Amino acid sequence: MQEIEDKPAGLEIDVMSDVVCPWCFIGKRKLDAACAQFPDVAFDIRWRPFQLDPTIPPEGMKRLDYLTRKFGADRLASFHDRISEAGAEAGIAFAFDAITRSPNTLDAHRLIRWSHARNRQHELVDRLFRLYFIEGQDLGDRDLLVSVADEFGLDGSLVRRLLDDGTDVGSVREEIATAARMGVSGVPFFIFGGKLAVSGAQPEDVLKEAIRRSLADASS
């Protein structure tokens, strides 16, 4: 009699995030650490779009002008201190001084959407976080996004055409609107197994427990 191998347990995790959100970068590191505690689980992590500020113009704006407008000049000196400390604990050396532009992230979310078909979404998101928060690159620059597409095995010339002709703009905006209708007002926001929601860049142990509970629920 032929022995049938057990299939590895699987778990879908939806992450609503914006690539210019430092807490989302930290949250990704925490999620990666939590998932690593379940080596026998096949995770399907799907990155969903969210925009911290969709009113930023398509060409972006100067970072200093944006932060001053949003938070006021008197808060800028200490604005990044807490984030930098949390980032260091997660192994992220934020280089906020290197960031000169605040981009509109709609195009970056479109690229993330397309990368799912190549099963490269999780890695590509990490690359975008690094480009912005460590290298200070402008994520609204389509030349940069095309370069990232090529780097991750997508057809850069096709991505260029899709970016230029507006493909999936409506779909991405509808996903963002759906998140708002669900009550999501801040990111990162995690949904484990389509049921269990966790908001914020929670500690690794919190995410680990969410994974454990979701796996137990799926097997019951």
For residue 118, tell me if it sits in a domain.
yes
* CA dihedral sign of residues 103, 159, 180, 121: negative
Count other C-beta atoms under 10 Å from residue 76's C-beta: 12
Question: Any idea which residue has 């990704």 for tokens?
Answer: 28
For residue 4, tell me if it sits in a domain.
no
pTM for this predicted structure: 0.94
Short-list 35, 2, 18, CA closest to 107: 18
pLDDT score of 4: 44
201 and 23 in contact (C-beta within 8 Å)? yes
Residue 149 belongs to what domain range? 9-219
3 — pLDDT class (breaks 50, 70, 90) = very low
What is the b/e burial string over 77-88, where b = at least 16 CB atoms within 10 angstroms of the residue's CB?
eeebeebbebbe
pLDDT score of 128: 98
Count other C-beta atoms under 10 Å from residue 129's C-beta: 22
For residue 1, tell me if it sits in a domain.
no
Q: Return the SS3 of 44.
A: strand
pLDDT score of 5: 52
Question: For the domain that residue 65 is a member of, what is the CATH number?
Answer: 3.40.30.10
pLDDT of 149 higher than 70? yes
103 versus 4: the higher-pLDDT residue is 103
- Which amino acid is it at 161? R
For residue 2, tell me if it sits in a domain.
no
pLDDT tens for residues 69-107? 888 877 776 878 999 999 999 999 999 999 999 999 999
For residue 32, tell me if it sits in a domain.
yes
pLDDT score of 49: 98
pLDDT tens for residues 36-67? 999 999 999 999 999 999 999 999 999 999 99
6 — pLDDT class (breaks 50, 70, 90) = low
Q: What share of the chain is helix, strand, coil (3-state, %, to 5)?
A: 55, 15, 35
Residue-averaged pLDDT of the chain: 94
pLDDT tens for residues 9-28? 899 999 999 999 999 999 99
H helix intervals, 72-154? 76-79, 81-89, 106-115, 121-133, 142-151
Number of domains comprising the chain: 1
pLDDT score of 73: 72
pLDDT tens for residues 163-179? 999 999 999 999 999 99
Q: Which helix (H) or strand (E) holds 197?
A: strand 196-199
33 and 203 in contact (C-beta within 8 Å)? no
Measure the CA–CA gap between 201 and 28, rounded to whole angstroms.
Answer: 8
For residue 37, tell me if it sits in a domain.
yes
